[in-house]
Every structure is written in structure tokens, then in C-alpha cells.
Structure 1
Amino acid sequence: MSHSSQTVADARDDAPPSPPSWEQRLRRFGYTPRAGAGVRERLVPPYPLPGAKLWQYFGLSSAAAQRLAHWSAWGGPLLVALLAGVLRFVNLGSPDAVIFDETYYAKDAWSLLQHGYETEWPENADDEIIAGRTPEADEASYVVHPPGGKWVIALGEWMFGLTPFGWRFMVAVLGTLSVLMLCRIGRRLFRSTVLGCLAGLLMAVDGLHFVMSRTALLDLVLMFWLLAAFGCLLADRDAARARLAGALPTGGDGLLRPDADVGTRLRLGPRPWRVAAGICLGLAAATKWNALYVLAAFGILIVLWDAAARRTAGAPRPYRAMLRRDAVPAFVSTVPVALVVYVAAWAGWFATSGGYYRNWAEENGADSSFSWVPGPLRSLWHYTFQVYDFHVDLTSAHDYESNPWTWLAATRPVTYFYSSREQGEDGCEHASGCAREVLALGTPLLWWAGCFAVVYAAWRWLFRRDWRAGAILCGVAAGYLPWFLYQERTIFYFYAVVLVPFLCLAVAMMIGAILGPPGCPERRRVAGIVGAGVLVLLIVWNFIYFHPIYTGTEIPLDGWRARMWLDTWI
């Protein structure tokens, strides 16, 4: 080989490797590869330190800024949760009435406290309860949801009695705690206290989450356990990756090096956060069955996370390594744990003999091929199938039913309570009359911004390969897409409350992009702060404007009409 040919060959060998074909194809759609990061940073990204320029502007030293940042990791979320709690607990007992489906769940919860199972109530029970009298009820009732969420409501009734405040108390507690959780989840997801607290603030001022937090329905309880499960899986992700990073060898420059043996063979040991996620998913399924779709989606998510972690650690065949080392423990720590928790939620039904279908196996299943299964479990299995048939055949028309195609646009909210009076009637002084309403409507500007944020998250996941966007989309898809299988059923917009945390995370991610990346020019940063600030202030104003029709506050009828932006809201 000639000297010139050898030189060309050497130059070709020294050239940086060309990007993979998928990356080259995606460049035309705006894909920009992330700047190089070490193995440790890719496994467990650090929380960034406070920017010196910002804190110097406020006259703080570097040490003071770091102490403030350390405090804000919990202090910020706690302040946001305090705001959410004040909003939710003020006048929690108003309206002093049994509103919407509280007529089922508040009374079922009280029956669980008294008997261990749900019972039938007389027709005038709601009026009697509001008048301070508790009717007798002991005959078993056929109910179509598991008892887990009703036990949560019952805890408030145990503390404060069968009153509107009592049956709404624990739901308001979970609504407040969910805001705190979302702040911490957002902080871990984005590695930013500001964006985490922003996500929590957005949920604190979302109208649907707010109304559901002040109403004794099951869907807010369901949302709480699903969000808790997501948070546990995030914590498990960080913990498992930290173990991988701790086992990797260090090069001469002090940086971690990928290692095929570690990435392929390392056993990650006990994963308590994953077991905690299984418990939360079991509690969610014991509240409403649509949690099972989320369980399946989260199962796929953790499989992908485990494979990606082993790839980063150096496994040449990460999916094979994941299947050999992680798949079985992941299944055992979630599905069987969730099943045990679900069955345990029926403890009151098992411990008594008066529950609906409680003795079915003894009365009808003696000759069954499953007679070796304990009778109470066979009775519960039969009950489960009967309830499933009820749900899939539920097609009766309802004034407020809606198609899931309309949910993200919030075009068909549900009225939980409404009353109106003419001028001069019971103290109404307004010429147009007076109106009170509790409307389960998401803060419109937040939900409409959420539509764009979901599209943005999809773009980040597809073209930037951003795992955070993928996690958010997983939560949205798991809580939303299954309802398209049941479009002929009687379903309602407020089921979408399980989407609210993930919509808020998506909007927070979009606002983070508006603020600009680290190191961007000052002019770009100022423009981003102004744009993001305007959007957040508009959302907060929108919540304040609709607050009277979220709480049943009496307002002039003209004011009520002004808030009906769409005809379909009436």
C-alpha cells in the first residue's frame, strides 16, 4: 500500500463514528442528539446545582444558594400542597347535600363501617341523612365496584360521621397529598424543583381535580393510587440504576466505563419500591377495575426501563439480559402483590356472611370442577363475572355522558349540583336571578394547553428519544385509550381525572422548553420566562374565574351564563 493510501486509511480510522441510521433519518424532523454524557450521568442524572448568576442577582452567596436549593426540594412541594389543601378544605361541607353519585358511595362506605358489606337504603335516605337521621339498612346490596375506594371514604365518616364533610374528608386529603406527590415526582422526572412544583401547582388549580377532591366519588381515589404507583416506579428506576452504576468499573480518567459482564449478569437484589408500586396498583384495582389497564401499561414501561438501563451499563443484548435477570422479579413484585392486595380489600365481605353473593358457592357451586377452591373465593369470582357483565352491557342513555374523543377538549363536563332562584326568592337580590352549581370541568386553558403539550411530548419521545416524555405518554395512554374500546357504553368526562397528573407533567415539560435550555442566551431566557409566566398566570386566572361554579357558590344568573363558554357545558 502506498504512503498516500495509508494516510487516507489512517484518517478514516481516526474520524468520529457516523451516527446510526435512525439518527440520520430523524435529523430531517428536527432531531438533535444530546450532548455527550458519562455513563453515570446517563444512568442516574444528577440534580443540577443552583446557577450562580441568578443567586448573585438576589445577593445570595453560593453556600446560601445551595442551602436554599436543598430546602426547596421539600419546602417548595410542601408550600404548593399547602395551597392545594387550603383550596380543597375551605367550605368542604358545601353544598350541604348528597350530590351526584355520592348517593351511592357515601352510603356504601357507611354500610361497610357498620356491616362490612354494602347494604340497601330506603328511597328517602338522602333527605334523612342531610336532616341528621341515619336510616336502618342491613339487606345486602348489589354493587358494581370493589370496596377499596369506599373504605377510604368510610375512614372520613368514621372520624366525622355520616355528613357531607365526613364523606368528603378523606377524598380531599388524598387530593391534597396527590399534589405533593406530583411535585416530588416532577422533580425526580425533570431533575428540576421548579418544574416539579410547577406541575403540582397546575394540578392544584385544575378544576376537575379540584371538584373531584371535594366530592365523595371513587375516581380521585383511583387517581391517587395510580399516581403513587408511578412515583414508586420512578424511585425504583433511580435506585436500580444507581446499583448498576456502583458496580461498573472506573477508567483511568475516573469515569465509569460500560461493562458487558456487569450489564448482563448483575442481579439488582430486593426492589422495595417496585413492591410498593404493586401494593398501590392493587389498591387502585380495588377501587376501580380500569386500573388493570394501567397495571399492564406500567408493566411494559418497567420492562423497557430495565432493558435500557442494562444497555447503558454495557449489555450487548439488553433485552435478553433483562428477561434473564429482571422480568420474573418484576412480575412477582407487581402482579401477584397487586392481586393479594385486591383480594384483601374484600376483607369485610369475607369476614361476614351477609354480603351479596357471599354464600353463592355453598348454595350453587357444590358440583363445580373448582370445588377444591375455598367457597368464599369462588363466590367472589362469580360476583366478579356478574359485575363485569353489568359494566360491558351498560348502555343506558344519560344527559351528561360523553365520548372519550371529546375529553381532552373538555367539551362535555358533568353537573354534580345545580339550583337557581329568582329575584326576591330566599334572599336573592340580583335582577337576573341567582344560581349555584358544582361543575366537574377541568380548567379550560390548562386542558387546551395540555392538548398541545401531549403533542409536544410525543415529538420529544419520537424524535428526541426522551424517556421522560415516553413515561408521561404512557400514563396518558393507559388512562385514556382503553375507553375507546367502550364508546357505546355510558361513560363520563370525569373519568379523565386519572389523566390530570400526566397532563400537568406534559404542560410542565412544554413550559420547560419555553423557558429554554441551560446556557441559552439571556435574551432567549427572558423571552421564555415572559411567555411561560403569561401562560401560567392565564391558567391560574382561569381557575379563579371558574371557582364559583366549582364550589357551588351563589352568583348572579348572568354571571353563571357568562361562564358557560360552550353550549355543551349546560
Structure 2
Amino acid sequence: MIEFVWRWRVALMASIVGVVAAIMRFGSLGYPQALVFDEVFYARGAYSLVTMGYEGEWGGENQDFANGDLSQLSAEADYVVHPNLGKLMIGWGIQMFGPTPYGWRFMAAVVGVATVIMIAFIARHLLRSTLWGGVAGLFLAVEGEHVVLSRTALLDIFLTFFIVAAMGLLVIDRTSAHRRLLAAAAFDRERLGLGPGSLIPGQGPNLGIRWWRLAAIATFGLSVSVKWNGLYFAAAFLVLSVIWDWYDRKKCGWENWFAGGFVRAIPAFFATIIVVPLVYLASWIPWFRSENSWGRHWAENNPGEGLTWLPDSLNSLVHYHEQMLEFHRGLDSPHNYESNPWGWPLQIRPTAFYFEDVTDVDCGAERCISAIHGIGHPLIWWVGAAVLLYALWRIFRHRDMLALTVTTGYLAAWLPWLPFAHRTIFTFYTVTMAPFLVLMVVWAMKRLAQPDHRRGKWWKPGAIICAVYIGLVLILAGFFYPVWTGEPIPFEYWQMHMWLPSWV
């Protein structure tokens, strides 16, 4: 009976957050009938990939493609600066539903909903609570940056999906490893005749091949196959996995816990430097298979240049990557919506994806507009900035492993961009921060409502504060929904959402 109730609660939690996420992402997904922001690159590139096997040059006006005119696609290869996987996934939606706005946004919405559900389960495990897992999933379901990117055919939502999936696999790996470490510690103490709290000689057991961690490494390879900055997350989370191992070995009581964790990290390191490149290389199979791909025959046309010891196809791919790297290094052209990453935690300069006057819909006002702004949910982001400071204090003052766990993804998504503040970068990159932002915020909420000293019991004032906060988050999500989805609204109502001058 207890197991049935437990399963029923978990199923209900997953169903609620999944339904809310789907409503936010699939509602009027085909609107607007236009290429929104950088969909001009990725939607058209995806169509080209799944029809020709490579990305071709497009002519004509952007709206021609949105209106169904596909005649402007030429056989001439286009120079693109991101790997293929995200665009291939966009293309799967196009194959299912055609080259329509719904078709090229479909897979973004699917992985957006999947990410919400994964975060709910990750939070449930980390916080040991189905309720708090549901709150985390609900917060991500209504988080503006994640909603907007889940409704747009850009790459970053796919990057976010694979990063969260990889973290989830590492959490499963840790749970499995910890269970085995506890069993080994109990066995060694009994074998050596040691008391329950005594130190155990040695480093702890060799757990063999950790398949869940290997799966996480491969999934990080998929994230890099969407955008290169997946490498930052791979490095951060795999280091965190080693820290978990040290922590668990020490907690179980082995004297040489550090050496034990370090030695076992060496195979994981070599697996990473082998598996991630192999997965990444596999994502370029369409490029290898298409004779007309950009730069496909560079090595053959330039004998004696590049890495001549490689086969011509790989030499050409390396040269192509050198070109892409040079492009990214020089990406510093001014843009109306570029943002300084120092302002990302407060969403100082959100990205305007779309803004048009609407004349064919009566919104009940003299001027009607359709606008899509990548504005992160203010109550979640602004509270999250304060929670980050608290979490860092917990890490350095109390060596709080859970605080480190919930902040790692946030910091991995943010800190690497700070040295590149001079480049043309955008706030919508923070969609990769959003899942870990809600983990941080909900972790802090639990500490407020169920303080450690109460051993899981509720503190009524803290619980009331959290309940009011959840209500305000949901109400504000409803208020911002029109400017996250492009729903036609009066111009004056749009102005009510522009809380900061930098949001206009």
C-alpha cells in the first residue's frame, strides 16, 4: 500500500509539471508565421540538412520561407559555424510536420517539456521530496527564458536538454556507487572487526565500469555536438562527480578516501577524452556523406596544407573547425540586443526575438502588437541571484555538498562567458542556466520551510513564505505569458511588461 501511494504521488507530480510545461510550450506554437530571430539560420539550415544532406545557401526574403516558398534553396554549400546535431533535431520536426513554423519548432517544444520533467525528478532525488521536486519542475515549466527557447528553433534548448540529461545520469551513477560503497564499508568493518564509526584501512573498492557515468559522458558529447560550450558543462559536472566520490568515500570511513577517488577518476578522464570526441565526430556523419558540404574537399584542393598525416576528409574537417573558431573569436560586431554577461543573473538586457504591429487581429485597442521577449521570470531570477550568494556562503563556510551540487550547473553556464563580455553575446544563452537556477531556488525554499534543525518538520512561517512565493511566481507567469509567446496584445499592455529601461 505504501509503495502504491508513493508511486501514485510521483506519477501525479510528473503529470502536473509535464502538462503545465506542454501548455506553456505547445499553445499556439505555430504563431507567429515568421522566422523569429535566428530561426532564419537554424530552421532553414535544418530543412536543408534533412532534404539535401548538407546546408545550402538560401536566397530571397526570409518571409518567403515562412510562407512556404522553398524554391530559394540552392545547391551551393552554406558556411555555418555550429555543429549539426541541434539542426538535425529541428529537421526531425520538419520531416514530421512539414516546413512550417509548427514543424520547425516542434522538437524544441518536445525537449523543453522533457527537460522540465527531468529537472523535477533530479530535484526530487536531491531534495528527497516529491513535493519539492514538483515545485522545481513547475518553476522551470513557467520560467520565461526556457519557455521562449522551447518555442523557438534555436540550438540552445537542445544544448540545455542534453546537459540536464547528463546531470541526471551522473546523479543515478552517484546513487548506485554510494549504495555499493556503503555495502563495501559494512563488509570491511565486519571483516576487520571494526566499530561502526571507525576508520577503514585502504582506499575503498574499485567499482568497475560505471555505466551510468559512461552514459553521462556520451551525453555530454551530444551536448558538444549541438554547441561547443557543452564542454564547459562536461568539465564542471565530471569534476563534481569526482568530488562526490571523494565525499562519499570519506563519509563511508576509508582512510585513503582521496587517493581512492583520484585513482578511480583516471579511467573516467580517459573515457571522456575518447568518448566525447567520438560522439562529436559521429555528429558530422552528414557532412562526411555529402560531397557538396562546405569545405568537404578542402584538403584535396590544397595538397600539402593542414594536417597532412590525417585522411583528406578529416584534414578538411579540422580546417573547417579552424575557420569556425576564428569566426567565434572575431564575433564582436555591435548588436541592438547584445548583453554583458555580468548582468545575466538579473536579466538586465533580455533578447527581443520578435516585434510586429498586428492589423488582422482585434485586441481591443487602437494599436495591437505581437512581441516575443526572452525575459527570464523576474521573481525566479532575482531571488536566484540572492540564493546564489547564500549557496556560495554555504559551500565555503559549511562545506555543503548539496549547495555545491545545485550551483555547479548555474556557474558552469555563466562564469565561462565573463571573460568574453566584449563579444556579441545574448541573454538568451542563459536558458542553460535556468534548470539549475530553479534547483538553487527550490533548495533554498526547502531550507527555509524545513530547516535542518527541525529534522524535516515544517517551520510554519517559512512554509507560508514559500507558499506565497509559489503563488506569486504562477501569477506573474500568467502576466508575462503574452510577451513570451507573441500573443497579440494592446501596445499599452506590452509597455506594462517593460519594467526596466534596458528591457525596451
TM-score tier after normalising by the smaller chain length: over 0.9
Contact 1:434-1:557 at 8 Å conserved across structures: yes
* Structure-1 separation of matches of 2:33 and 2:155: 20
Quote the offset at 1:315 in angstroms.
2.7
**Quick one: which of 233, 237, 244 aligns to 1:294?**
233
Q: Does 1:408 align with 2:345?
A: yes
Match of 1:260 among 173, 196, 200: 200
| Residue 105 of structure 2 is aligned to residue 168 of structure 1 | yes
CA distance in 2 between counterparts of 1:460 and 1:70 reads 33
Pair 1:567–1:160, CA change in 2 (3 A): same
> Given residue 295 of structure 1, which amino acid in structure 2 is its aligned partner?
A
1:412, 1:569 within 8 Å by CA — same for their partners in 2?
yes
Written as runs of structure 1 = structure 2, the 5 A alignment for 1:488-503 is 488-503=422-437
Q: Are residues 188 and 255 of structure 1, via their aligned partners in 2, closer, same or farther at CA, if it must alter by over 3 Å? A: farther
Deviations 1:269-313 (A, max 9, x none): 121111111111111101111111112212321221222222223
Q: Show the counterpart of 1:232.
A: 169
- How far residue 266 of structure 1 moved from its aligned partner, in angstroms, is 1.4
The residue aligned with 1:184 is 121
Distance 1:265 1:451, change over 3 A: closer
Pair 1:321–1:427, CA change in 2 (3 A): closer
Alignment check: 8 A CA contact 1:236 1:271 kept: yes
How far, CA to CA, are the matches of 2:107 and 2:457 in structure 1?
47
Match of 1:133 among 66, 69, 72: 69
The counterpart of 1:507, out of the listed 412, 425, 441, is: 441
Question: Given the superposition, is the C-alpha separation of residues 234 and 94 from structure 1 closer, same or farther in structure 2, using an over 3 Å criterion?
Answer: same
Aligned residues between the structures? 500
> Alpha-carbon deviation of 1:481?
0.4
Following superposition, the deviation at residue 456 of structure 1 comes to 1.9
Q: Aligned pair 1:347/2:285, yes or no?
A: yes
After alignment, is 157-166 or 309-318 more displaced? 309-318
Larger radius of gyration: 1
Mean Cα deviation higher: 126-135 or 355-364: 126-135
Task: Confirm or deny: 8 A CA contact 2:42 2:87 kept in the other structure.
Answer: yes
Residues of 2 paired with 1:258 and 1:366: CA distance? 65
Letter in 2 for 1:86: I
Bigger mean CA deviation after superposition, 160-169 or 525-534: 525-534
Deviation at 1:145, TM superposition (A): 0.5
Q: Give the partner amino acid of 1:191.
A: R
Distance 1:521-1:502 versus aligned 2 partners, 3 A rule: closer
Map residues 375-454 of structure 1 onto 2, 5 A cutoff: 375-421=312-358, 425-426=359-360, 428=362, 430-454=364-388
Question: Alignment partner for residue 16 of structure 2, among 74, 79, 82?
Answer: 79
Deviations 1:150-204 (A, max 9, x none): 1110110111111100000001000000001001111111111111111111000
Structure 2: distance between partners of 1:472 and 1:366:
50
**Helix, strand or coil: the match of 1:277?**
helix
C-alpha displacement of 1:449: 1.0
Report what 1:486 is aligned to.
Answer: 420
Task: Give the corresponding residue for 1:532.
Answer: 466
Query: Would the aligned equivalents of 1:141 and 1:356 in 2 still touch at CA under 8 Å?
Result: yes
Distance apart, 1:215 and its partner CA = 0.3
Relative to structure 2, which stretch is displaced further, 244-253 or 131-140? 244-253
Aligned to 2:422, what secondary structure does the other structure show?
coil
**Deviation per CA, 1:378-417, whole angstroms, max 9, x where unpaired?**
1111111111111011110000000001111112111111
* Structure 2 unaligned spans of 5+: none
CA-CA distance at 1:520 after TM superposition: 3.4
Task: Tell me which of 193, 213, 222 is aligned to 1:274.
Answer: 213
Q: Specify the code of the residue in structure 1 equivalent to 2:24.
A: L
Letter in 1 for 2:267: P
Q: What amino acid is the match of 1:536? A: I
Preserved CA contact (<8 Å) 1:248 1:259: no
Q: Which residue of 1 aligns with 2:271?
A: 333
Q: What SS is found at the alignment partner of 2:8?
A: helix
Which letter maps to 2:66? I
Secondary structure in 2 aligned to 1:249?
helix
Q: Does the 8 A contact of 1:110 with 1:162 survive in 2?
A: yes
Query: Displacement of 1:337 after TM fit?
Result: 1.2
In the other structure, the counterpart of 2:80 is 143
Q: How does 1:24-39 map to 2 (within 5 A)?
A: none
**1:426 shift after superposition:** 3.9
How far off its partner does 1:258 sit? 5.8
Is the 1:249–1:258 Cα contact (8 Å) retained in structure 2?
A: no
Q: 1:308 aligns with which of 240, 243, 247?
A: 247
Shift of 1:493: 0.2
Distance 1:366 1:236 in 2: 47
- Residues 559, 330 of structure 1: alpha-carbon distance in 2 compared, 3 angstrom cutoff: same
Letter in 2 for 1:181: M
Indicate whether 1:567 and 2:501 are aligned.
yes
C-alpha distance in 2 between matches for 1:532 and 1:471: 22
What is the CA–CA distance in structure 1 between the aligned matches of 2:283 and 2:295, rounded to whole Å?
16
Mean CA deviation greater in 293-302 or 491-500: 293-302
Q: Give the partner amino acid of 1:215.
A: T
- Per-residue displacement from partner, 1:43-81 (whole Å, max 9, x unpaired)? xxxxxxxxxxxxxxxxxxxx55x5322322343123211
Q: How well do the aligned residues superpose, as a CA RMSD in angstroms?
A: 2.1
Contact 1:450-1:507 at 8 Å conserved across structures: yes
1:248 aligned to 185, 200, 221, which one? 185
**Structure 2 Cα separation of the partners of residues 150 and 475 of structure 1:** 24
Q: Which range is displaced more, 351-360 or 292-301?
A: 292-301
- Between the aligned partners of 1:339 and 1:565, the Cα distance in structure 2 is 44
Q: How far apart in 1 are the matches of 2:361 and 2:180?
A: 67
Structure 1 distance, partners of 2:363, 2:95, is 40
Question: Post-superposition shift, 1:540?
Answer: 0.9
Distance change >3 Å, CA 283–CA 523, structure 1 → 2 = closer
Q: Distance between the aligned counterparts of 1:398 and 1:100, measured in 2?
A: 12
For residue 321 of structure 1, the aligned residue among 232, 256, 260 is: 260
Report the CA distance between 1:138 and its aligned residue: 1.5
CA distance in 2, matches of 1:87, 1:127: 25
CA distance, structure 2, for counterparts of residue 384 and residue 407 of structure 1: 29
Alignment CA distance shift 1:489-1:442 (3 Å): same
Counterpart CA distance in 1 for 2:132 and 2:379 is 18
1:466 is aligned, of 397, 400, 419, to 400
Contact 1:350 1:376 in 2 (8 A): yes
Could you tell me the TM-score, scaled by structure 1's length? 0.84
Extract unaligned runs of 5+ from structure 1. Answer: 1-62
Q: Which amino acid aligns with 2:334?
A: A
> Is the Cα–Cα contact under 8 Å of residues 360 and 379 in structure 1 kept in the other structure?
yes
